[in-house]
Structure 1
Amino acid sequence: MGKNSKPKESAKGKGKQAAGGSDESSKGKGKSGKSDGLGTCTYVKARHILCEKQGQINEAYKKLQDGWLGNGDKVPPAEFAKLAAEYSECPSGKKGGDLGWFPRGKMAGPFQEVAFNTLIGATSAPFKSTAC
């Protein structure tokens, strides 16, 4: 969950569940900053939580909903990082799910689409991705 992505760290396997947020300077929140000057974003920073089992990502997402998303609030980066450290099966979990900055074309299709289409500071709903 979340975006604060750095150049892709590979995740193993297919069909893993990810939830993400992108933010240009922390995690967890959508589109950001580095532009090609044409009004389109060419880089994004994202955080995520990667889980093999649907039940595990649902549990993590429910905690986000109960704490912030249910009220329409943005998830504080530190809180997202705690959940990523607890739930994520990706090595980035130790860094709060932070993937750093990455350009278009660097991440797997579904993850890239969500990363570049989620608003800055927002957290996406869980989605299935082949890798991240």
Structure 2
Amino acid sequence: MGKDSKSKEGKGKGKQAAGSADDNASKGKGKGGKSSDGLGTCTYVKARHILCEKQGKINEAYKKLQDGWLNNGDKVPPAEFAKVAAEYSECPSGKKGGDLGWFPRGKMAGPFQDVAFSTPIGATSAPFKSTHGYHIILSEGRKN
């Protein structure tokens, strides 16, 4: 994934990813954040994502996640999300289960950052579009 010159924060360098990221504040540790859930107040997010060029393909991946977990109200286990990412993602990170590791606010651009920093820990985002294609994000952690 490449640079995105339309970053809301003017820091369009780095990869853009999609997904959702949760924050350690949801465990009751709102370090430095004003919000008790930590959403939107953390500095770093740990996430996995699935990236597809075509909307139909990302919808297939999402349906697989829904059928396995989301329709039952369950959270998708990271290992299971990784299997779906390896099967569907067109991003090089797909080979490692969509793992993006920890990334700071300002590294990812536009919609990806917005979704990553607003998705609760353990939650999976709905599919969304960015300049790189269609994404689903699994939020794995937050920290300051």
TM category, shorter: 0.7 to 0.9
Other structure's SS at 2:19 match: strand
Q: Under a length normalisation based on structure 2, what TM-score does the superposition of the two structures give?
A: 0.69
The count of aligned residue pairs is: 112
Per-residue CA deviation, residues 46-100 of structure 1 (Å, 9 max, x unaligned), is 1000000111000000000010000111001110000000000000000100001
Structure-1 residue corresponding to 2:81: 80
Other structure's SS at 1:102 match: strand
Alignment pair present for 1:48 and 2:49: yes
Structure-2 residue corresponding to 1:70: 71
Structure-2 residue corresponding to 1:20: 19
Other structure's SS at 1:92 match: helix
Q: Under a length normalisation based on structure 1, what TM-score does the superposition of the two structures give?
A: 0.75
- Would you say the 8 A contact 1:19–1:123 is kept in 2? no
- Would you say the 8 A contact 1:32–1:43 is kept in 2? no
Structure-1 residue corresponding to 2:32: 37
CA RMSD of aligned residues (A): 2.4
Percent of aligned pairs sharing the same letter: 81
Distance 1:125 1:19, change over 3 A: farther
Distance 1:93 1:12, change over 3 A: farther
